[in-house]
Chains A and B, each alone.
Chain A
Amino acid sequence: DIVMSQSPLSLPVTPGESASISCRSSQSLLHSHGYNSLDWYLQKPGQSPQLLIYLGSIRAAGVPDRFSGGGSGTDFTLKISRVETEDVGVYYCMQSIQTPLTFGQGTRLEIK
């Protein structure tokens, strides 16, 4: 199985500041067609997960442009500019280049 490792696991942020979450995979997620099979999800407290970013860098519908995904191969980053209180929750990366699909451990973003 591909192992996904996120850091940090806890991320306190002051509103208005930016935040960055790293996700590393044990194998390359770069597909032969040139895209990366990496999604980012946010699970807000008490809610189902929601899709933020897919194929490494494509924002899902309705996701604010404060969220951006980057990276390639085995190293990926989710950046949140101008963090808002509504961004609180646990962020997960997930690889989909091979089954079983696997999630990172999650990064808990909290407001200072």
Chain B
Amino acid sequence: EEQLVQSGAEVKKPGESLKISCESSGYIFSNYYITWVRQMPGKGLEWMGVVFPGDSNTIYSPSFQGQVTISADTSTNAAYLQWSSLKASDTAIYYCARPIAARAKYAMDVWGQGTTVIVSS
């Protein structure tokens, strides 16, 4: 079964760093983009960016460029989303997702369960 399993919920203080993960199984990790999506409390979905594990090519939304780092490691079949200095406004649920076809960025049919990040002093 193709699946994405995300790391557990995090509670952090402003200014702290964080790296959350999205582990894949059941398919060839290097052939499919991984997308990260943010959902702030009570709000809609926001596309943050994608990484292609096969060559680590990454595309960010301008809204998130410089705010987060998206990466992937084919040795662990995992994608990552990291912050160097968290803000309260980073409080959200973060989803990773995989598209329906290799090398496509659309039609995300496999989703992680979401990682809740709470940033509070």
Query: Residues of A with Cβ closer than 8 Å to B?
Result: 1, 37, 39, 41, 43, 48-51, 54-55, 60-61, 90, 92, 94, 96, 99-106
Contacts and interface: CB of A to CB of B under 8 A. Distances in A.
Given A54-B106, A60-B100, A101-B106, A48 B111 contact: yes
* Interface SS, B side: strand
A48 B45 contact: no
Nearest to A106: B44
A99 B109 contact: no
Nearest to B47: A101
Given A60-B107, A99-B61, 10 more contacts: A39-B107, A48-B95, A48-B111, A49-B45, A49-B111, A51-B108, A61-B109, A94-B45, A101-B35, A101-B106
Contact of B105 (A41, A101, A102): A101
Interface string B10-44: 00000000000000000000000001010000001
A105 B44 contact: yes
Contacts of B46: 103
Contacts of A41: 45, 108
B9 interface: no
Nearest to B45: A103
A90 B42 CA distance: 11
Nearest to B49: A100
A30 B25 CA distance: 33
Contacts of A106: 44-45
